[in-house]
Amino acid sequence: MLKYVIHYFFLLLVISSISLRQSWAQTNNNSSLQAQVHSYLNSYNSEFQKLYTAASEGQWLLNTHIVEGDTMAAYQSALAEEALAKYTGSKSNIDSAKKYLAQKNRLTPLQVRQLETILFSAGNNPEIAGDIVRKRIDASNAQTEKLYGFHYMLNGKPTTVNHLDDILLHSNDLTE
């Protein structure tokens, strides 16, 4: 009887050590994958922030510095936005995000959300539709120039939006 108890105890010990080893290997394997994803996300975010900053500054200039006949602001803004679009919609970034998301049960919830966001952003600028993306960017910039480049006139004279607002708020003169 004692022999069976010892044998049973030994068998449980072997099974539990194998189970622990597999669990440790799985955890170690998850940690390795999570480290790879972490490295990829750091690299992606670093480049994204540079490109996004340049694109935002280009849009700011396009919205605030509107001079008739000046096409340089629109050109620079388009270049910055195209660089951002090319990066976010690149096939390599799409493939990397999909590859890692295929193993999302081994990733942290934050990593999964970040990878899904990368794919979502890529959907707006897919590399395979490069010409269409470029045309969309150009159309958006042209629309912005027209919107913010409009010249307001009052009684045939140039005026500002603030002046028109002031008249509407404070004037009692119906002929104005």
- Domain ranges, ordered by start, for the chain: 32-151
- Count CB atoms within 10 A of the CB of residue 125: 22
Q: Which residues pair with 157 in a beta bridge?
A: 154
Phi–psi pair at 107, nearest 5 degrees: -105, 165
Query: Could you report the per-residue pLDDT of 58-95, keeping only the tens digit for each?
Result: 888 887 877 777 778 888 888 898 899 899 999 999 99
Nearest to 41 by CA among 107, 86, 105: 107
pLDDT tens, N- to C-terminus, the chain (176 residues): 444 445 444 444 445 444 434 444 445 567 889 999 999 999 999 999 999 999 999 888 887 877 777 778 888 888 898 899 899 999 999 999 999 999 999 999 999 999 999 999 888 888 777 777 778 877 877 777 777 667 788 888 888 888 888 888 888 887 76
How far apart, in whole angstroms, are the C-alpha atoms of residue 71 and residue 87?
24
pTM of the model: 0.64
